[in-house]
Amino acid sequence: MNSICTDDARIACPLFQAEYGGSTPTSVLQLRFACVSEPVFKQLNSDWHSRLPKIGNSHFRVCYAAECNNVFYAVAAWSNPVARLLPQQTWLELRRFAIAPDAPRFTASRMLGWMRRDIAKRFPEVERLISYQDLDKHKGTIYKASGWRPAEGFKPRARGWIGWGNRPRIGRTNQAVAPRMRWEHAMSNDLVS
């Protein structure tokens, strides 16, 4: 999946003919998943993400996309955990996950399962995956459907990312300050073949 430029980020491979007859996939089984470049991920995330379209200077370890008929339908990015006290080399955090409005049903849970299996192969040192659910906007259905568990001892709370205490960082604003719930998946549950 290569893109000509980020302006045409939704088109995955414009030089190749699409395989299926319809313009929009009717089943999640028609989607193909693969790594994608960070610029393509950022463009599509800004178009589709419901609460966090802006991305600062993030250091993603891997970005993924779901594609069908040479058109992207979902993107996701993983990095080391943002919380400095969490293990930085053996845990990965799903930082953003954005789905196109015309994506087929169950795109999110199917892609989440595929990414989990790919990460197990690509990063064998990773022991745990984490993600934070915005409690005001989402119900956590994709995590439940994919076998994730709420983090033990984690208390949902609102977080602000504009600075510490009374000293906000210049030029930064909160995109979302709703309480969040942390979900986890232990990679020891996945058998890599």
Q: Domain-by-domain residue ranges, the chain?
A: 6-189
Q: What is the pLDDT of residues 90-128, one digit of tens each?
A: 999 998 898 999 999 999 999 999 999 999 999 999 999
The answer to whether residue 35 scores a pLDDT higher than 80 is yes
Q: Which range among 29-33, 82-86, 98-102, 125-129 has the greatest average pLDDT?
A: 125-129
Model pLDDT, residue 185: 93
Would you place residue 15 in the very low, low, confident or very high pLDDT band (cuts 50, 70, 90)? very low
Would you place residue 32 in the very low, low, confident or very high pLDDT band (cuts 50, 70, 90)? very high
Query: And the tokens for 3?
Result: 């893109």
The answer to whether residue 46 scores a pLDDT higher than 70 is yes
User: Could you give the C-alpha distances from 6 to 37, 60, 66, 128, 152, in angstroms and in order?
Assistant: 10, 18, 16, 32, 40
Compute the average pLDDT of residues 139-144.
Answer: 82
Residues whose CB is less than 8 angstroms from the CB of residue 133 and which lie 6 or more positions away in sequence, other chains included: 140, 143, 180, 181, 182, 183
The answer to whether residue 83 scores a pLDDT higher than 60 is yes
Of 38, 53, 102, nearest in space to 73 by CA:
102
- 6-189 maps to CATH 3.40.50.150: no
H/E run at residue 33: strand 32-35
First to last CA, the chain: 24
For residue 182, list its beta bridge partners: 132
Q: What is the pLDDT of residues 155-191, one digit of tens each?
A: 655 555 544 455 555 555 544 556 777 889 999 755 4
